[in-house]
Amino acid sequence: MSEPVLAADRLTKAYGQTIALRGITLTVAPGEAVGLLGPNGAGKTTTVKILTGLVRPSSGTARLFGLPATDPRARVKLGYLPELFRFPDWMTGAQVVAFHAELAGVSGADRAARVAEVLDLVGLGARGGDRVSAYSKGMSQRLGLAQAIVGRPELLLLDEPTSALDPVGRRDVRELVTALKADGVAVVLNSHLLSEVERVCDRVVVIDKGHVKFSGSLDQLTGEGPTLHVSVGRADDDLAPALAEFGRVSVSGSDVQLTLGPPWDDAPDEASEQVAAAVTRGPWGLRGLVVSRASLEDAFVAMVSGGDR
């Protein structure tokens, strides 16, 4: 296996008597998109600051590309979009990106072409000559994303990248992250818009009260596979056995709840067709069929609230 681009091992951080992190461990592989989730005050921002070398941990280690996160050589391959940022109002968008390209080591010969390229990628190709003071919140957010990728990073840390964007802008960011992943860029996405995380991330890490409460795939977090809710004209003792090959069956009156098991849990649409055909062939009479599964939001709220919400 290739070496992780990011490896944090048992990070702790204390601000006086306040303990922000209590042993955070996480890794990110090349080309992997990881969602960093947690309620306000969970320790996500402190974790990101340690990973960018802005804060030193009280104990534990953080490494980027095999080097300590505090080593400037490690940050050469890092792109970062903080949640709160400001650019000089008097500069144009192109000037802002060019300045960050210079900081990222983009050569002078390539800089103008690279600036134009990333402005096009984030949807600001026609507005690069405008001053930042004329930018809307959404345009400023796009500009922040442009400066984060202008240096061709191999690891991208995005803190609430879609917070000020409209639906079109959020879609553009999703498509950009997907393209970066395909090019081997690793992405850590911190967002309260869980639907965005659900669409682009391969894995999620949930932090709460300074601890990692969960690290794994979305399917592992949301729990059981998709569920089919089937309504029939009449049920009898033969109905549940007829559907048992698809998963766990529960019959209550004329309502059937079928939790899909392997291999059907990876193909809920095909399972729906097969279940509908099986019910139709029998004497039960198919009246309705709905596919559902726990959302990331449901699983996340349940995990961090301890069932109190």
Mean predicted lDDT score pLDDT of the chain: 89
pLDDT at 309: 38
Radius of gyration in angstroms for the set of CA atoms belonging to the chain, rounded to a whole number = 24
**Is residue 306 very low, low, confident or very high in pLDDT (cuts 50, 70, 90)?**
low
pLDDT at position 199, please? 82
Over residues 20-27, mean pLDDT: 94
Q: Is residue 301 part of a domain?
A: no
Instruction: Decide if pLDDT at 307 tops 60.
Output: no
Q: pLDDT at residue 308 above 70?
A: no
Q: What's the domain range around 130?
A: 6-221
Q: What is the pLDDT of residues 214-247, one digit of tens each?
A: 998 877 777 666 889 999 999 999 999 999 999 9
C-alpha 186/C-alpha 196 separation (Å) is: 16
C-alpha separations of 246 from 29, 190, 242, 260, 265 in Å: 34, 36, 9, 6, 9
- Chain segment 42-67, per-residue pLDDT in tens: 898 899 999 998 899 999 999 999 99
CATH code of the domain in which 235 resides: 3.30.70.2470
Q: Is residue 54 part of a domain?
A: yes
pTM of the model: 0.77
Q: Indicate the number of domains in the chain.
A: 2
Whether residues 228 and 282 share a domain: the answer is: yes
Residues 239 and 268 grouped into a single domain? yes
Residue with the larger pLDDT of the pair 305 and 107: 107
Check whether 288 has a pLDDT greater than 60. yes
pLDDT average, residue stretch 129-138: 93
262 and 115 within one domain: no
Whether the per-residue pLDDT at 1 is higher than 60: the answer is no
149 confidence band (pLDDT: 50, 70, 90):
very high
Burial tier of 289 (Cβ tally within 10 Å: 0-12, 13-18, 19+): middle
- Whether the pLDDT of residue 164 is over 80: the answer is no
**pLDDT of 69-107, one tens digit each?**
989 898 889 999 988 888 999 999 999 999 999 999 898
Residue 248 and residue 275 in one domain: yes
Residues 115 and 54 in one domain: yes
List the alpha helices (DSSP H) in 52-107: 72-75, 93-103
Residues 186 and 238 in one domain: no
| Cα separation of the two ends of the chain | 41
117: confidence class by pLDDT, cuts 50, 70, 90? very high
- Write the CATH number for 98: 3.40.50.300
Name the least confident of 94-98, 188-192, 273-277: 188-192
Asked, for residue 306, whether it belongs to a domain, the answer is no
Same domain, 200 and 55: yes
* Nearest of 185, 176, 205 to residue 78 by alpha carbon: 185
